[in-house]
Amino acid sequence: MTTHAVSGLTVTLSVESTPLGGTRAYTLTINQEVIDTTSDDSDRWEELVVGRRSWAIDTESLYIYDDTAAIYLEEHVTEANPAAVSVILTMPDGRTYSGDGLVTSIVISRGYEKAITASVSIRGTNALTTSTSM
The answer on pLDDT for 108 being more than 80 is yes
What pLDDT digit, counting tens, does each position of 79-104 carry? Answer: 876 788 999 999 888 899 999 999 99
pTM for this structure? 0.84
Total domains, the chain: 1
Q: Domain of 77: which CATH number?
A: 2.30.110.20
What pLDDT digit, counting tens, does each position of 43-63 carry? Answer: 889 999 999 999 999 999 999
Please report whether residue 41 resides in a domain.
no
Helix/strand/coil (H/E/C) assignment for every residue in 11-45 = CEEEECCEECCCEEEEEEEEEEEEEECCCHHHCCC
What pLDDT digit, counting tens, does each position of 3-58 carry? Answer: 777 777 788 888 988 999 888 899 999 999 999 999 998 888 999 999 999 999 99
The parent domain of residue 20 ranges over 9-36+47-132
